[in-house]
Chains A and B, each alone.
Chain A
Amino acid sequence: MAIKEMTVKEVAKKVLNKENMFILDVRTEDAFQDWKIESDSFDYMNVPYFDLLDGVEEIMDDLPKDKDVLVVCAKGGSSQMVGEMLVDEGFTNVYSLEGGMKAWSEHLEPIKVNDLKDGGELYQFVRIGKGCLSYMVVSNGEAAVIDATRMTDVYVNFAKELGVEIKHIFDTHLHADHISGGRTLAEQTGGTYWLPPKDATEVTFDYAKLEDGEHVTIGSTQIDINAIYSPGHTIGSTSFVVDNQYLMTGDILFIDSIGRPDLAGKAEDWVMDLRETLYTRYQELSDELIVLPAHFMIMDELNEDGTVAEKLGVLFEKNHGLNIDDQDEFRKMVTENLPPQPNAYQEIRETNMGKINPEDEKQREMEIGPNRCAVR
Chain B
Amino acid sequence: MNVAKVLDAKGLACPMPIVRTKKAMKEVESGEVLEVHATDAGAKSDLTAWVKSGGHELLEDQEDNGVYKFWIKKG
Contacts and interface: CB of A to CB of B under 8 A. Distances in A.
Contacts of B49: 28-30, 48, 50
11 contacts: A28-B46, A28-B49, A48-B46, A50-B18, A50-B50, A50-B53, A51-B53, A53-B15, A53-B22, A81-B15, A361-B41
Interface string B16-60: 101100100000000000000000011001100110010000000
Contacts of B45: 28, 30-31
Contacts of A29: 49
Interface of B: 13-16, 18-19, 22, 41-42, 45-46, 49-50, 53
A361 B39 CA distance: 12
B14 A74 contact: yes
Interface in A123-141: none
Interface in A26-54: 28-31, 48-51, 53
Chain A interface size range? 10 to 19
A50 B53 CA distance: 9
B12 to A, nearest CB: 9
Given A50-B18, A50-B46, A75-B42, 6 more contacts: A30-B45, A73-B14, A75-B14, A77-B16, A81-B15, A361-B41
Contacts of B53: 48, 50-51
A243 B13 CA distance: 49
A47 to B, nearest CB: 11
B69 to A, nearest CB: 18
B54 to A, nearest CB: 8
Nearest to B49: A28
Given A31-B45, A53-B18, A53-B22, A48 B13 contact: no
A115 interface: no
A74 B42 contact: yes
Most buried by A among B14, B18, B50: B14
A156 B22 CA distance: 45
A75 B13 CA distance: 9
A73 B40 CA distance: 14
Interface in A47-104: 48-51, 53, 73-75, 77-78, 81
A77 B46 contact: no
Contacts of B19: 53
Contacts of B18: 49-50, 53
Contact of B15 (A31, A77, A365): A77
B15 A50 contact: yes
